[in-house]
Chains A and B, each alone.
Chain A
């Protein structure tokens, strides 16, 4: 058994020329064949796929950026539109306010003028009425005076006293 173990150890530990030769031939052959017809297309395809995935990711990222940019643009446009609308509304309101103010002023002026005219008319009427009253009073006074004069004016003194007193009393102003 011991001798056999020694033979066994010597046997499996000594490389054989024939196998070494065939291993050389086979390995070089498959190294060449696989490198040319397997590893090159496989690693090439893997790299291509990785590149395409990377590119896809990159373009997705770019599209996302583009989207945010567009969104920001839209936001800005919207903001501008809103501002414009506000400005237009404000202007319209101002115009309307101006119109109302003008109308109001005009109305007020018209009213004032009417009032003034009315007042003037009233003043004139009043003046006329006073004039009228004055004339009537004068004529009445004359009538009264005539009557009184006729009745009382027997003497001159009495006549004078009466006239004076009546004039004083009839001071209407």
Chain B
């Protein structure tokens, strides 16, 4: 995300550099993948726009249609296509007729990045899996030995450590949730790292993505929850007089846990991007090379921190998910051990 801020903006003398706009542009989603602006030429990958209009059906066209006339001096002029335009204020696609109802399923920058990360995940772990098959009984090598300790760590220290008990077939309960936890961990980590690349999208710093992940954990938590878990919520081990207070608190607790997951990931990743962008923005606000000399090493340092945050947030999300799942599938015996 630490993308070269737009020299184009700064160069336009009539339009002063607006740091807020620049940050919004980089952190928010977009209908095109903008890599850089060299002079007045935007290096942009147009992305498909997919709209579902009730009564009219699907409408698919390239986002370059909004720039059909090419680049004018006033390059940010409103261009409408089939009654739609991109609102420069928030980068959203809007209908010229505000009463017209439509749903935007466009392949935006975030969606494209999502696809990229999905392909990367499938290719990387598919090749690792085939390496395990091909080199069965041999020591791991290459990518395999890079990711094996991480997979083992997630299995032993995240899943096995927090999800106890066995299912009715005698298999350890954690095995049921391990695929989900591994997928979540690597999905978040890979997307965090892709987001740190110059020109990368802010996928894990988007509330829709973290909302989905939090809901997934909410579902995973309750899919195999046992009667002890529900007993704890609807018949908490406190005097009955407190039940009218405790039961609503426990019910809200069901939702606050995934809510905290959603906000934590979103806020950490977005905040990291905003800090880096703000610091880089200082160079263009002051237009001073000495500011650059101070800011660039500091941004480099922050980028290092962000690399750590990328793996840390993936770890925290996975760990907390497994703890929530663990608390819902835990047997009664271990509850007593914890003093509940």
Contacts and interface: CB of A to CB of B under 8 A. Distances in A.
B155 A23 contact: no
A43 B128 CA distance: 11
B308 interface: no
Nearest to B124: A38
B251 interface: no
A45 B132 contact: yes
**What's the interface size class on B, roughly?**
35 or more
Interface of A: 1, 4-5, 7-8, 11-24, 26-27, 29-31, 33-35, 37-46, 48-49, 52
14 contacts: A7-B89, A8-B28, A13-B207, A14-B207, A15-B206, A18-B103, A19-B208, A22-B114, A26-B115, A30-B121, A31-B180, A39-B178, A44-B132, A52-B137
Contact of B104 (A18, A24, A44): A18
A18 B216 contact: no
B328 interface: no
Contacts of B212: 20, 23-24, 27
Interface in B224-252: none
B279 interface: no
A35 B104 contact: no
Contact of B152 (A27, A37, A46): A46
A16 B128 CA distance: 34
Contact of A37 (B105, B110, B129, B187): B129
Contacts of B137: 49, 52
Contact of A35 (B20, B23, B183): B183
B105 A38 contact: no
A12 B207 contact: yes
A19 B180 contact: no
Contact of B128 (A15, A23, A38): A38
Interface string B109-151: 0110011001001100110111011001100000000001001
A31 B183 contact: yes
Contacts of A17: 103-105
Contacts of B209: 19, 23
A46 B151 contact: yes
Given A30-B183, A37-B129, 17 more contacts: A11-B24, A12-B27, A13-B207, A14-B207, A15-B207, A15-B211, A16-B104, A23-B212, A24-B212, A27-B183, A30-B121, A34-B125, A34-B186, A35-B179, A37-B126, A41-B129, A45-B133
B182 interface: yes
Interface string B25-36: 001110000000
Contact of B182 (A13, A21, A24, A34): A34
Contact of B179 (A5, A7, A39, A49): A39
Contacts of A16: 29, 104, 208
B303 interface: no
A42 B132 contact: yes
A59 to B, nearest CB: 16
Contacts of A15: 206-208, 211
A151 B151 CA distance: 157
Q: Which residue among B136, B178, B208 has the maximum number of chain A CB atoms within 10 Å of its CB? A: B208
Interface in B163-204: 175, 178-180, 182-183, 186-187
A38 to B, nearest CB: 4
A33 B186 CA distance: 13
Q: Which residue among A13, A33, A43 has the maximum number of chain B CB atoms within 10 Å of its CB? A: A43
Contacts of A19: 29, 108, 110-111, 114, 206, 208-209
A116 to B, nearest CB: 97
Contact of B126 (A13, A38, A52): A38
A7 B90 contact: yes
B270 to A, nearest CB: 7
Contacts of B130: 41
Contacts of A8: 20, 23-24, 28
